[in-house]
Structures are given as C-alpha cells and as structure tokens.
Amino acid sequence: MFKSAMTGLLSMFAVLMLPQAAQAEYADVVINNYADAAGMRPVVFPHWYHRIRFRCKVCHADLGFKFKAGGNKITMAKIIDGKFCGACHNGEISWSVENCGMCHSGVPGMPTQIHGSTVQRLVAPTYKSLDKPAK
C-alpha cells in the first residue's frame, strides 16, 4: 500500500514539475503583427498580471502603448532600444530579450487580439427608427 501511494505521489509531483504548454488566457493580449513573418511564435502579453502591479498610465501614457491590441508597431529593435516592453524587460527590472520563449509563447498563426474578449462576440443591434412611420 505504501509503495503504491508513494508511486502515485511521485507521479503527481512529476506531472506538476514538467513544463506546461503556454496558452493565452482571458484578457491576455496576443500580438502577432510581425511574429509569423519572422518565423517566431506570437507574443502573449499577460495584461492582468501587469495590471495588478502597475497603474494603466505606466504603460499606456508613460510608455506609449495604444488602447488597441496590435495598435503599436512594436519590433524587437525597439524593445532592445528600451522602448515599449524594453523599458522594463531590460535584464535589470525584469528579464531581457534573451529569453524569447517567455514572451513568444503563442500558437503560430494566432491573430492579434485580446484573447477571450467579450467585445469579439458582440454584434451591433439592428437599427430601428424611433420615429413612428407616417400614415
């Protein structure tokens, strides 16, 4: 009994310790403006992870990120130059660009979008005039 319990516990531990495939979760921003063309995986930006640590103005005012997925022309050259993500992901504040898989973790071909956004599912209602038709 002890042997089977120990085997089960070790198996569960091994599964938890193995690297898991990264997936975009609700409200993550998938950025694929240039990644597919460059032979890289799209970037999955964990918006809420950053949002609980920083105020909106840090990225959207101070760093110049637009309020639209894919709205900026972010390139690796600009990041290396300290712009956009590179303002923090410089190896001092957070990891730097040498860790490609930390950001480029999306599924190839994934479109630029806010993942799981309800905005993507909304459809504009049919227009109905408020005026009563003339008789």
Any domain includes 32: no
Reported pTM:
0.66
- pLDDT > 70? residue 13: no
Per the structure, the complete domain to which residue 110 belongs is given by 37-117
Any domain includes 82: yes
Any domain includes 134: no
Question: For the sheet containing 43-45, what is the strand order?
Answer: 43-45, 29-31, 113-114
Any domain includes 133: no
Any domain includes 76: yes
pLDDT reported for residue 28: 87
Pairing mode of beta strands 29-31, 43-45: antiparallel
- pLDDT > 60? residue 19: no
Any domain includes 55: yes
pLDDT reported for residue 38: 94
Q: What is the CATH number of the domain that holds 101?
A: 3.90.10.10
Any domain includes 84: yes
- pLDDT band at residue 57 under the 50/70/90 scheme: very high
Q: What percent of the chain is predicted at pLDDT more than 70?
A: 67
In the chain, the number of structural domains is 1
3-class secondary structure, 2: helix
Any domain includes 92: yes
- pLDDT band at residue 83 under the 50/70/90 scheme: very high
